[in-house]
Chains A and B, each alone.
Chain A
Amino acid sequence: MNISDGNFFNANNKVLAQKRFKDISSLVNQKETKILGASTQDKEVYKIAVIGDSVTYGLGVQDKEKYTNILEMELNKLYKDKKFEVYNFSLVGDDQLDNYMKYLLASKNNSYDLHIFAYVTNDIFIEKNIKYPNKKEEYEKIYQDCYIQTSQAKTETKPDENSQSEYNKFLFYESVNSTNVCMTNFILSSISKEDVIFFATDGIGDLDLYKKPENNFDKDDYYTLALANYSKLIRENGFKILSPYDNNSLFPTEKGNISGKENHPNKTIHKLFAYFLTQEIIKIQSNNSENLISNEKSILCDYEKKIAKDVSILVKEDIYPIKYCE
């Protein structure tokens, strides 16, 4: 199956189509999206659209282990008269223009109370393909404007992703003063700031690396700087970024991958992402805290304890809550 081909979602793979691709396939084909089991007629429904790439798609973990599924379950346990529906609009290799196209489709088809754009460094480079409806046309339109503004042609081919150091270096250069940056700014300025937040699944990078001489850079430094540049652009465009790897974070910096070959987050990290987002959504919904099953502060502390417990098991070291359990 060619994933960059617009016919991808009509591919006949029952297992993937019925579970994993259900939300995104409904989005692309503009069909009725899921309705959760219980009747929602007597409850207020809060709809969250999570738009992302392979991390949010849950590559390497089972469908039930994806953080979007866990997030939906956790939120529905916490509020008495409110129901949450979390939609996962993510696919492997989606770039920021893909995410923008999905955002436009989602806004056209349905109304979501919150859009979460999950991102990692790989999403920086915008590719010209027909993955989503109207993507190619939108690409050409933005590209034309940016080409005139920057007088610079965009690199049409990216290096082989198996050559990690070359690929990271390429992503870094695409994140600085390029046509790609101009296109990124165009996309970010076209997204509503009221109901969109960004979720940095790999952290927000580190701009302090600019202080390090470039001839001492290793392959991860280019990756981290590219991520930092992208995060900076997001912030400059007025968006809030949720980063599970901020200064007060309990999140582990190692043992988060699935295996030696599969570098995507493992099921523990997915669970931690869900707990982290649950805390953030509780905070966003603080005007609704009387609907919570218990006191907001104690729930935030409970989730921090859960995070500490799972991280302790993962890294085999005692980790204690530091933020919400004073």
Chain B
Amino acid sequence: MLLKNKKIILLIFIIFSLFVSYKLTYNFGEKYYFDKLFYRKSTSHGYF
């Protein structure tokens, strides 16, 4: 039971870490590498 709880906590931690990493990388790329990664490419930034 304890092992199962630990696994669940670990899983939640991994999912949370992945989400935070994705967000941080996205924001970093958007701020410092906009021309390379988003300019005239990104639909979510209005380009078509």
Contact = CB atoms under 8 A, between A and B. Distances in A.
Contacts of A15: 43-44
A61 B46 CA distance: 7
Contact of B44 (A57, A62, A92, A258): A62
Nearest first, the 3 closest Cβ-Cβ pairs linking A and B are A259-B34, A261-B35, A15-B43
B31 to A, nearest CB: 9
A58 B46 contact: yes
B35 A262 contact: yes
Given A259-B39, A261-B39, A63 B34 contact: no
Nearest to B43: A15
7 contacts: A1-B48, A16-B46, A59-B46, A59-B47, A60-B38, A259-B35, A259-B39
Given A258-B34, A259-B34, A262-B34, A13 B48 contact: yes
Interface residues of B, number: 10
Interface in A215-256: none
A260 interface: yes
Interface-centre pick from B34, B39, B46, B47 (highest chain A CB count, 10 A): B46
Interface of A: 1, 11, 13, 15-16, 20, 57-63, 92, 258-262
B34 A20 contact: no
Contacts of A63: 44, 46
Interface of B: 34-35, 38-39, 43-48
Contact of A20 (B35, B39, B46): B46
B39 A262 contact: yes
Contacts of A260: 35
B39 A13 contact: no
B29 to A, nearest CB: 11
B6 to A, nearest CB: 37
A183 B45 CA distance: 33
Given A259-B34, A260-B35, A261-B35, A16 B45 contact: no
A1 B48 CA distance: 8
Contact of B45 (A13, A62, A261): A62
A16 B39 contact: no
B36 to A, nearest CB: 9
A18 to B, nearest CB: 11
A11 B43 CA distance: 14
A258 B35 CA distance: 9
A120 B48 CA distance: 22
Given A259-B39, A261-B39, A262-B39, A16 B48 contact: yes
